[in-house]
Amino acid sequence: MALQGSLSELSLPDVIQLVAVSGKTGAFHVTRGDTEGEIYLTNGQITDARVGDLRGEHAVYEMAIWSEGDFRFEPGVVSAELTVRKSNANLMMEAARRMDEWRVLSRKIPSLDLVPVFPKRDRNQDQVTLSPQEWILVTRIDGRSSIEEIAKELRWAAFDVSKLLFGMVTSGLVELMKPGEGGGGEGYLDARPSPITLLGLAEKIRKMALSIVGADGEKSIEEQYQSTRTRIEHGDGMNAIRTMIEENGKAISKLKGADVAEMFAEEVQPLLGEEAAGPVSGAV
């Protein structure tokens, strides 16, 4: 008889440990809403896991923090793939750590169904300093997509997206709204990055370009940076950033060659949060 139940009554790590101790072979089928995942055990040892685009131990960690949903253990099912090599003890210790961290995150992020939006920021506020991963996340915030939807689009764990958002919410850069409430309301900038945020991104790109061209191309990069600042302040948004990257690429190609310009394009591409890896055009 298959073991099954609700994650709201019994956590997944506890259930896994219960089955693992008995040395069973089989598969846990875990569901939360429309999301389904599997965790495979062979003689009590976790050997494979998958949920969405996540595989291996990251899939285990993702499902371990679920506090709602259902699980079902199907005995005798074996996976032909080996994506988990850590011991059960190490996996469960890391899962427990993440569950503790999730309890802290959930104080500001109580649900993955919430929609991140950008509140209006005063122009006299300081520019924003973000990590490359935070910039990627910022470019995916559209005022319509939920935290879980953004995570799926980026192929990141929802836990990792929530960790990044926690800092942004704490600093006031991002607010979380219920589905249908965010984006375009009074006090919001169409859920797009604010000029302050874009100025911070322009500064980051400027530094990347200067590190490549050196003193020989400093004048060209600085002129483009000042032009970009003006365009951002006049409401050109991400189009100003794209044009800046394109013009910087031309300057780098002229000074350092096409190969170096292509390298620059590849380095800045993730900051725009785009899948394509080719040259960046100036069009929206």
Nearest C-alpha neighbor of 96 from the set 157, 30, 13: 13
Asked if the structure places residue 37 within a domain, the reply is yes
pLDDT tens per residue across span 62-101: 999 898 899 999 999 999 999 999 999 999 999 999 989 9
- Average pLDDT for residues 222-233, to the nearest whole number? 90
**Residue 188 confidence (pLDDT):** 47
Domain co-membership, 31 together with 95: yes
Q: At what angle do helices 57-64 and 158-171 cross, to 10 degrees?
A: 60
CA distance 243 to 282: 5
Whether residues 100 and 136 share a domain: the answer is no
Q: Domain boundary residue among 105, 127, 159?
A: 105
Residue 123 is predicted with a pLDDT of: 53
Is 60 exceeded by the pLDDT of residue 183? no
- Do 16 and 95 belong together in one domain? yes
pLDDT band, very low/low/confident/very high, at 42 (cuts 50, 70, 90): very high
Domain end marker among 83, 105, 127: 105
Alpha helix stretches (DSSP H) within 234-284: 238-256, 258-268
In a domain, 188, yes or no: no
| Least confident interval from 160-164, 177-181, 204-208 | 177-181
Has residue 70 been placed in a domain? yes
Residues 74 and 125 placed together within one structural domain of the fold: no
* CA proximity to 247, closest of 214, 184, 202, 216: 202
Q: What is the mean pLDDT of residues 29-33?
A: 93
Q: Is residue 186 situated within a structural domain?
A: no
189 is a domain residue: no
Considering its fold, how many domains does the chain have in total?
A: 3
Residue 186 scores a pLDDT above 50: no
- Could you tell me if 87 and 124 lie in one domain? no
User: What residues pair up with 73 in beta bridges, in sequence order?
Assistant: 3, 28
Q: Is 94 contained in some domain? A: yes
Residues 9 and 90 in one domain: yes
Task: Judge if 225 and 167 occupy the same domain.
Answer: no
Q: What is the dihedral of CA 178, 108, 190, 228, to 10 degrees?
A: -160
Query: Would you say residue 187 has pLDDT above 80?
Result: no
Structure-model confidence comparison of residues 192 and 150, the more confident one: 150
Same domain for 93 and 8: yes
> Quick one: what percent of the chain has pLDDT higher than 90?
45
In angstroms, the CA 26 to CA 18 distance is 13
Report the chain's mean pLDDT, rounded to a whole number. 84
Q: Are residues 146 and 220 in the same domain?
A: no
For residues 80 and 130, membership in a common domain is answered with no
Q: What range does the domain containing 259 cover?
A: 195-272
- pLDDT digit string (tens) for 99-153? 899 999 999 999 889 999 888 765 555 556 778 788 888 878 888 899 999 998 8
Residue 277 maps to a domain: no
* 242 phi/psi in degrees, rounded to 5: -65, -45
- Residue 276 or residue 215, greater confidence: 215
In a shared domain, residues 164 and 208: no
pLDDT of 240 over the 70 cut: yes
Q: In this structure, is residue 234 part of a structural domain?
A: yes
pTM tops 0.85: no
Cross-strand pairs, 151: none
H or E, element range at 57: helix 57-64
